[in-house]
Amino acid sequence: MVAANPLGWFVERRGALIERVTPGTAAAVELARLSDEAVLVQTRAASSRVGVPFAVLALGGYGAGRLLPGSDIDLLIVSAGSSRDLDPLVRSVLYPLWDAGLAVGHQIRTPKDQVRAVREDLTVATSFLTARFLAGDAQLAHRVIGSVFTRLARDRRSLLERITARERPGSPYLLEPDLKDGAGGQRDIDELVWRAALALGKPAHSPALLVEAGLLAGQEAELLASAQDAVTAARWAIHRGGGRARNTLFVTDESDLPLDASATQRALEAVNHTLLDVRDRAAGRRAMPETPLTFDDLVGLARAETSGLDTLERAVYAGRLEHAVPRFRETMTLRRPALSHRFTVGAHSLRVLTALSDGPTVARDMLPALVIAALTHDLGKREPGPGHAPRGSGSAAAAAMRFGLPGRAGADAAKLVREHLLLSEVATTRDLADENVVLAAAARIGSVSLIEPLFALTAADMRATGPDVWTPWRATLVAELADKLSVALSPDVDGAGIVRAAKATREGARTAALSRGASRAVLAFIEQAPLRYLARRDAGQVLRDALLVQSIAGPGAPGRFALGITSGPAEGTWVIDVITRDRPGLFATISGALTLSGLDTLAAEAQTGAAGIALDTFTVGSATRAPASTETWRTVERILAAALTSRYDIDTRLAERRKHYPGPTRVEQPVIRVGATGRFTTTVRVEASDRMGLLHDLARACQAAGLDIQRAVITTRGERADDVFELTDRDGAPPTAAILTETLVPLLEQAATAR
């Protein structure tokens, strides 16, 4: 028979408290007091069986009088007795807490050992700076506290240096911040408490004691108290919601849990900057200037990279940008979570500004407009909802005027802000070989002088958004579009440069084919190739494809195919052409074979000639750390040969392979958008949690809906896929609205969420 836990009453009251209380500092204090009661009851129960003096102290956050549902109960037992002497106390206090499922951090030391420990270990020292007597011999506890603080006073300078040098990961402006150890989180508040304890020479439980030390103003102390309440409330909600050991605020928590993410973000900002100010005061450094930032200041800080970003953030917090961009400080804590974005609106904008120094150079006369556009490009997000780019253009023009820049700079900055999404959206969702697409984009820009700064702004925006956004492949697509826009807006070609380039490619391929006595089939392929295909290749590539088509034409065994592999447009990419007889599901079969060969598809294009010969082109990169090799291409050829002759079930093999690879850590609901319909195709965009074989499954969904994929652009951002397809029906016409909404979208949703 298992004995009942003597702390059953505590467990019951603790659970009720966690569920009913309003999260915040008051709740954390109440939970700490309840825990004190439990420790005291068990200590008294064991006192008669412990024959030596002892003292029990609370340390860390518990010592400061605050506990969260998932926090450790940190205890120190001080005694000169042996482990045998103290065994009844350990069994009475610690065992019931462990049996109750609580995390208890504990140390048993002699007074001398504790003095030695705080000198050798920073964590031990900082946890003792909030020490609080709980039970046992009060005089012993106070002697130990006095001895330890005498030792700490001698080491105060080196201890402060080590505290200042501690790691503060992340940023207070992350959309998914670490509320405990990250910049602006609980550890930063703790540091202010530690500094107060070292300044006063006794344990401290609140940063407000720094007012006595002359390092903190009363108004700052009130701000910190409010910030502590907000951070504690958010962490309490996360712990109570099932994430007991988690201290990261996820974007999804904002809707799933009863917490105020915006208030939490403001709290992190306040704690971060208050700590930096206190550090400056303690070190005798001069306070940050309060004068408004000039345009030259802005440019100088932007070029200073990391140090410039830190200074910019502090300057914005101090209000030094408000004269030129009113209410910009508010955007520093404005949360607008979006795909791949990692920072708040204002913090992202400052990172775009500093990212300009690593990007392409622009003409000197366009630099002012580019700088203003980088700073203001997302100001339209002050209002929720789509259309932030045009909404922010007026703010850009006004900022340029307030900085005293020429009128043209304001007009150009406004245009850059209005169109700052244009290059990325067109490059990744539209056919760049379609002259109408390029000319429509060129008409929106209007001036060739804006292409260079718009490209620089696009690159900086993507690099600042998050990792894996400005990939070599995406950079190649955007650069290709920028080049075509330059041609389209050049006065000497009058917008016809794309057509001329395609015709020149055809002529070059024809000349090369005739010089080697090519067959009629090869010449026919070159003559019949559409402009959208020719615009993407040079003459040599077109002739190579024509020869591949010739090799597969005519009678032959089922599943016969030809494979062409060349280097891709970006480092680490390759272009794979697969020539075979067309059949339903061919695109899905090829994409699945490439996945099973260890390759990631970055883009794809499918074409079918008059003789029923398909030429599917895939731009790929390695899906593993190892680069693609000759063995990779052998594997592609082997799997394709088996799949095209129905000797290899791609779906089954993918399902088997997925068992050995972890899926995404968080599966999110897919977002499917039906976009523009052109003369031949309709664009469909699928944003979903990425996983092995996702492209294959989406292609199968298109096949099941009776649609053919003409072109695909595949983008992966961390664990999120963003795939764009250009689709036709089996007759080569755009699919009807009914097929798209009633058939395709449900199939895509099912494919995107299948595990």
Return all residues near 167 (Cβ < 8 A) that are at least 6 apart. 181
Instruction: Write out the two tokens for 335.
Output: 């949360």
Please give the angle made by the CA atoms of 414, 410 and 331, to the nearest 5 degrees.
60
Instruction: Write out the two tokens for 742.
Output: 């009633």
| 274 closest CA partner among 339, 189, 193 | 189
Q: How confident is the model at residue 1 (pLDDT cuts 50, 70, 90)?
A: very low
C-alpha 36/C-alpha 62 separation (Å) is: 9
With residue 425 as reference, give the H or E element that holds it. Answer: helix 422-429
C-alpha distance from residue 181 to each of 169, 184, 193, 344 (Å): 7, 8, 15, 19
Residue 724 pairs in a beta bridge with: 685, 713
* Pick from 125-129, 136-140, 146-150, 517-521: least confident: 517-521
- 751, 736 in Cβ contact below 8 A? no
Tell me which of 527 and 39 has the higher pLDDT: 39
- Buried/exposed 114-129: b ≥16 CB within 10 Å, e otherwise: bbebbbeeeebbbbbb
Region 406-432 average pLDDT:
93
Is it the case that residue 35 has pLDDT exceeding 90? Answer: yes
C-alpha 306/C-alpha 148 separation (Å) is: 39
Is it the case that residue 108 has pLDDT exceeding 90? Answer: yes
* Pick from 74-88, 106-120, 406-420, 423-437: least confident: 423-437
The whole-model pTM stands at 0.83
Counts for the chain of helices (H) and strands (E), in that order: 33, 12
Provide the pairing of β-strand 682-689 with 104-109: unpaired
* Pick from 252-256, 274-278, 390-394: least confident: 252-256
C-alpha 16/C-alpha 275 separation (Å) is: 36
Q: What is the pLDDT of residue 494?
A: 46
Name the strands in the sheet holding 573-581, side by side, starting at the edge strand that comes first in the sequence: 561-567, 573-581, 613-622, 599-608, 707-717, 720-729, 682-689, 671-677
* Pick from 193-202, 484-493, 544-553, 650-659: least confident: 484-493
Residue 7 CA, distance from chain mean position:
43
Region 48-72 average pLDDT:
94
Tell me which of 414 and 648 has the higher pLDDT: 414
Residue 348 CA, distance from chain mean position:
12
Q: How confident is the model at residue 373 (pLDDT cuts 50, 70, 90)?
A: very high
Q: How confident is the model at residue 80 (pLDDT cuts 50, 70, 90)?
A: very high
Q: What is the pLDDT of residue 435?
A: 75
Q: What is the pLDDT of residue 532?
A: 62
Instruction: Write out the two tokens for 132.
Output: 């609080």
Return all residues near 130 (Cβ < 8 A) that are at least 6 apart. 59, 60, 61, 63, 64, 190, 193, 194, 197, 203, 204, 205
C-alpha 459/C-alpha 683 separation (Å) is: 24
Residue 716 pairs in a beta bridge with: 721
C-alpha distance from residue 67 to each of 134, 196, 265 (Å): 15, 20, 21
Q: How confident is the model at residue 607 (pLDDT cuts 50, 70, 90)?
A: confident
User: What whole-number percentage of the chain has pLDDT above 70?
Assistant: 95
Is it the case that residue 642 has pLDDT exceeding 50? Answer: yes
Q: What is the pLDDT of residue 345?
A: 97
Please classify residue 610 by burial: count the beta carbons closer than 10 Å to its beta carbon, then call 0-12 exposed, 13-18 middle and 19+ buried.
exposed
Is it the case that residue 638 has pLDDT exceeding 60? Answer: yes
Q: What is the pLDDT of residue 663?
A: 65
C-alpha distance from residue 255 to each of 227, 249, 263, 369 (Å): 21, 11, 14, 38
DSSP assignment letter at 362 = -
Region 671-693 average pLDDT:
84
- 213, 198 in Cβ contact below 8 A? no
Is it the case that residue 492 has pLDDT exceeding 70? Answer: no
List the alpha helices (DSSP H) in 100-213.
Answer: 111-120, 122-128, 138-154, 156-164, 186-200
Count other C-beta atoms under 10 Å from residue 432's C-beta: 22
Is it the case that residue 126 has pLDDT exceeding 90? Answer: yes
Residue 349 pairs in a beta bridge with: none
Region 482-504 average pLDDT:
72
Name the strands in the sheet holding 104-109, side by side, starting at the edge strand that comes first in the sequence: 104-109, 73-78, 55-58, 132-136
Residue 242 CA, distance from chain mean position:
23
SS3 728: strand
For 7: left if phi > 0, alpha if psi spans -120 to 50, otherwise beta; the answer is: alpha
Q: What is the pLDDT of residue 288?
A: 84
Q: What is the pLDDT of residue 272?
A: 98
The C-alpha R_g of the chain, in whole angstroms, comes to 33
pLDDT 10s digits, 538-549: 898 889 888 888
| pLDDT, mean over the chain | 90
C-alpha 723/C-alpha 591 separation (Å) is: 13
Is it the case that residue 389 has pLDDT exceeding 60? Answer: yes
Is it the case that residue 303 has pLDDT exceeding 80? Answer: yes
Is it the case that residue 456 has pLDDT exceeding 90? Answer: yes
In angstroms, how far apart are the furthest CA atoms of the chain?
107
C-alpha 567/C-alpha 417 separation (Å) is: 36
C-alpha distance from residue 306 to each of 88, 161, 212, 302 (Å): 55, 22, 34, 9
Q: How confident is the model at residue 2 (pLDDT cuts 50, 70, 90)?
A: very low
Cα dihedral 718, 720, 724, 728 sign:
positive
Size of the chain, expressed as the number of residues it contains: 755
Provide the pairing of β-strand 599-608 with 132-136: unpaired
C-alpha 391/C-alpha 694 separation (Å) is: 36
pLDDT 10s digits, 309-343: 999 999 999 999 999 999 999 999 999 987 678 99
C-alpha 672/C-alpha 544 separation (Å) is: 37
Please provide residue 617's backbone torsions phi and psi, each rounded to the nearest 5 degrees.
-115, 125
Residue 359 CA, distance from chain mean position:
21
Instruction: Provide long-range contacts, Cβ within 8 A and 24+ apart, for 493-501.
Output: 495/439, 495/442, 498/433, 498/435, 498/438, 498/531, 498/535, 499/435, 499/531, 501/535
With residue 716 as reference, give the H or E element that holds it. Answer: strand 707-717
Could you give the domains of the chain? 8-154 (3.30.460.10), 166-287 (1.20.120.330), 554-753 (no CATH)
Provide the pairing of β-strand 682-689 with 573-581: unpaired
Q: What is the pLDDT of residue 122?
A: 95
- 369, 416 in Cβ contact below 8 A? yes
Beta strands in 460-518 (DSSP E): none
Tell me which of 355 and 338 has the higher pLDDT: 355
Is it the case that residue 417 has pLDDT exceeding 60? Answer: yes
Is it the case that residue 493 has pLDDT exceeding 60? Answer: no
Q: What is the pLDDT of residue 627?
A: 86
Residue 459 CA, distance from chain mean position:
17
Is it the case that residue 201 has pLDDT exceeding 70? Answer: yes
- 96, 5 in Cβ contact below 8 A? yes
Q: How confident is the model at residue 624 (pLDDT cuts 50, 70, 90)?
A: confident
C-alpha 348/C-alpha 570 separation (Å) is: 27
For 495: left if phi > 0, alpha if psi spans -120 to 50, otherwise beta; the answer is: left
